[in-house]
Amino acid sequence: MVPLAVGIDIGTSGSRAVAMRPDFSIAATAAAPLERFGANGRDPIVWWAAVGATLRELFSQIDRRGVRTIAVNGTSGTLLPIDGAGRPLTEPLMYNDKVPDAAILATIDGAAPEASAAHGATSGLAKALWFHRLPGIHAVLHQADWIAGQLSGRFDVSDENNSLKTGYDAEARRWPEWIAATGMRMELLPAVVRPGSVTGRLTAAAAGQFGLPLDVAVVAGTTDGCASFLATGAAAAGDGVTALGSSLTIKILSDRPIFAPRFGIYSHRLGEAWLAGGASNTGGKVLAQHFSLARVIELSATIDPATETGLDYYPLGSPGERFPIADPALQPQLLPRPQSDADYLKAILEGIAAVEALGYRRLAELGAPRLTSVRSVGGGAANAAWTAIRQRKLGVEFRPALSDEAAAGTARLALKGASEAGLL
């Protein structure tokens, strides 16, 4: 019987899961949309219903007796308060929700080191402070923690990646003392372990629900962004991953942490390595303002990526940029517009590629390794003309991503936990 590790990805629109063999090949995949289980995608009960349906579909495709470990990733910065039985006390605050209390934000700004990822209205710590005075509160958990708790019964543990925006010091590997100065009740914060660490075993209820052995281990997961990076197979310092979605996000594996809040750069810890990166406001959403997807595909087929338009665009949908230029007033540069739609599209693609190249240079200037290779994920990765333009501007080897499924990256963590625990 081939041993298997399961990775679960719970996102904003649905749940996905991957069963992975020890050689990293994928044995099965499954998915379920949140909307099938309720109109409120913020409801943790809806999350768990979607995960449950996903797992039942996944396990119908494999010999479930081979499952050794399970791990979960969730959206970074999504928090919920729970009671002593692990039940949510109120609706969670999602990854992009802003805490409206200026006093909370000012308190964090006064206590937190400049480089901490806990600054800002969407930080995990701001949300924890928003929740921590609720009657009956026992703990504040991240989305992935709560889903994992449904499997293990543990509602007191998190991982280093999800905890970063809640103020966790990944270099010292502890909750820092300054958090108490914000008024946060420290006993409400979960214990933190390394991603890939075994945190418990399935409860009898969870094992029975999914027809799994009782000795299946639950492994600490990560954030969706870190999971997506791991899924590609990038594993050496200097390996970069570019996500070409609605926005442009780049990450590079580094031998040291890079923290530059001015540029929205912080680093997640992956074992003894670090994952540093930033997100630009350019990307697919800018393309969508000018061309339909069908038109992008049509025009891209006519583009010669080996030549330059000579137009120096900085494609933004509206004023303001965060990385690799930190300027809230930066104006979009999309003029002059050539008469040819194909040339206009090409100039926008060149502009986004130039921002990508500047982003990797910025990371190197701040101490990250020099970029040595790139793997690409997201919808834009399938555009051959854009890929050729990017290769020309970056000047490094482009390697295929082993997977673009965040669940596959989480399955890799589950395999790590199985190996370290001697379960393979």
Instruction: Give the CATH number, domain containing residue 285.
Output: 3.30.420.40
Tell me whether residue 54 is exposed, middle or buried, using C-beta atoms within 10 angstroms of its C-beta: 0 to 12, 13 to 18, 19 or more: buried
Tell whether 171 and 194 lie within a shared domain. Answer: yes
Tell whether 127 and 248 lie within a shared domain. Answer: no
Q: Which domain holds residue 123?
A: 4-226+406-420
Measured CA to CA, the distance from residue 70 to residue 17 in angstroms comes to: 10
pLDDT at position 335 is: 97
- Residues 9-29 as b/e (b if ≥16 CB within 10 A, e otherwise) read bbbeebbbbbbbbeeeebbbb
pLDDT at position 261 is: 86
Tell whether 249 and 217 lie within a shared domain. Answer: no
Tell whether 244 and 354 lie within a shared domain. Answer: yes
Q: Nearest-CA neighbor of 386 among 284, 234, 278, 239? A: 284
The values of phi and psi at residue 48, to 5°, are: -70, -35
Tell whether 135 and 201 lie within a shared domain. Answer: yes
Measured CA to CA, the distance from residue 73 to residue 159 in angstroms comes to: 10
Tell whether 130 and 83 lie within a shared domain. Answer: yes
Tell whether 91 and 196 lie within a shared domain. Answer: yes
In a domain, 231, yes or no: no
The pTM assigned to this predicted structure is 0.93
Tell whether 204 and 263 lie within a shared domain. Answer: no
Tell whether 8 and 106 lie within a shared domain. Answer: yes
Q: Nearest-CA neighbor of 248 among 354, 341, 94, 97? A: 354
Residue 158's identity, in one-letter code, is S
- Does an H or E element contain 343, and which? helix 341-365
pLDDT at position 336 is: 97
SS3 212: coil
Using an 8 Å Cβ cutoff, are 218 and 202 in contact? yes
pLDDT at position 262 is: 85
Residue 270: beta bridge partners?
273
- Residues 266-279 as b/e (b if ≥16 CB within 10 A, e otherwise) read bbbbbeebbbbbbb
Domain count, the chain: 2
Tell whether 160 and 287 lie within a shared domain. Answer: no
In a domain, 304, yes or no: yes
Tell whether 209 and 257 lie within a shared domain. Answer: no
In a domain, 195, yes or no: yes
pLDDT in 10s for each residue of the chain, 424 residues: 899 999 999 988 999 999 999 999 999 999 999 999 999 999 999 999 999 999 999 999 999 999 999 999 999 999 999 999 999 999 999 998 999 999 999 999 999 999 999 999 999 999 999 999 999 999 999 999 999 999 999 999 999 999 999 999 999 999 999 999 999 999 999 999 999 999 999 999 999 999 999 999 999 999 999 999 999 999 999 999 999 988 999 999 999 999 998 888 999 999 899 999 999 999 999 999 999 999 999 999 999 999 999 999 999 999 999 999 999 999 999 999 999 999 999 999 999 999 999 999 999 999 999 999 999 998 999 999 999 999 999 999 999 999 999 999 999 999 999 999 999 8
Measured CA to CA, the distance from residue 389 to residue 307 in angstroms comes to: 9
In a domain, 262, yes or no: yes
pLDDT at position 12 is: 87
Tell whether 51 and 141 lie within a shared domain. Answer: yes
